[in-house]
Structure 1
Amino acid sequence: MRVLTSLDALEAALASAASDPVLFFKHSETCGMSLQAHEEMRDLVADPEWPVPVYLVSVQASRPVSNAMAARFGVRHASPQVLLVRDGAVQWHTSHLAITVGAIHAAVNA
């Protein structure tokens, strides 16, 4: 997972989403549910065959990035939260205990 810490880094990630899908994972270091979701995301990216870049946004350390994503995509903030972006738009999103490797695979392959 690549960590996004600035608005410039977010813009660069979104530029790549203009042609290929990317995943954004909003994570809270103080939330038990977010820790569980983080485990799912680590399992996902541990697969050497996983084709989609995953960007982590710490909602505490990178609040401006998290807020910019909510404003840009019109998706209400949640933490933890996963957003699948294709062609510059959110194609799918989920949060909390619904963040699973299986759910993400299904969304990417839909």
Structure 2
Amino acid sequence: MIHARGVAEVTDADFATEVLAERGRHVLVEFTADWCGPCRQLAPVLSAVAAERADRLKVVQIDADSNPEAVTRYGVLSMPTMFVFRDGEPVRQIVGARAKRRLLQELDEALVTA
């Protein structure tokens, strides 16, 4: 899996604990895979977002190839796919790599409206 620095990895086994049980701040989950070129481009962006929004946003990654349960549950069809969760529920879906500025804009909208 392409790992973004400062971003935790979750699995099917701990998804409920690490994502769904989180209260008090939103969770950004990136579904990623080793073979995904755009995921590699997104890794430094996710690292920066995790650092800049740490007070309001927990950022995690999940390897889509080895965690089919979460992939199926959330209907992930392409990589990278990101979901913003609030109190255990997905409130925003973002498909495809983004420049940092654009991703921050979309996340800030989700954090305000969600």
TM-score over 0.5 for the pair: yes
- Structure 1 residue ranges (4+ consecutive) displaced by more than 3 angstroms after TM superposition: none
8 Å CA contact 2:26, 2:85 repeated in 1: yes
8 Å CA contact 2:32, 2:61 repeated in 1: yes
Q: Which has the higher helix share?
A: 1
Using the size of structure 2 for normalisation, the TM-score is 0.72
Letter in 2 for 1:106: E
Give the SS at the match of 2:107.
helix
Question: What is the percentage of aligned positions where both structures have the same residue?
Answer: 15
CA 1:3 to 1:21, structure 2 compared with 1: closer, same or farther past 3 Å?
same
**Alpha-carbon deviations, 1:9-65, whole Å to 9, x = none?**
111021115x54211111122111111122221111132754211121011232333
CA 1:86 to 1:97, structure 2 compared with 1: closer, same or farther past 3 Å?
same
**Alpha-carbon deviations, 1:75-98, whole Å to 9, x = none?**
443310110111322111111134
CA 1:45 to 1:20, structure 2 compared with 1: closer, same or farther past 3 Å?
closer
The match for 1:104 among 85, 103, 107 is 107
Q: Distance in 1 between matches of 2:110 and 2:41?
A: 19
8 Å CA contact 1:40, 1:101 repeated in 2: no
Which deviates the most, 56-65 or 80-89?
56-65
8 Å CA contact 1:4, 1:56 repeated in 2: yes
Matched, 1:5 2:8: no
Q: Distance in 1 between matches of 2:12 and 2:88?
A: 18
Q: Distance in 2 between matches of 1:86 and 1:60?
A: 25
CA 1:48 to 1:107, structure 2 compared with 1: closer, same or farther past 3 Å?
closer
CA RMSD of aligned residues (A): 2.3
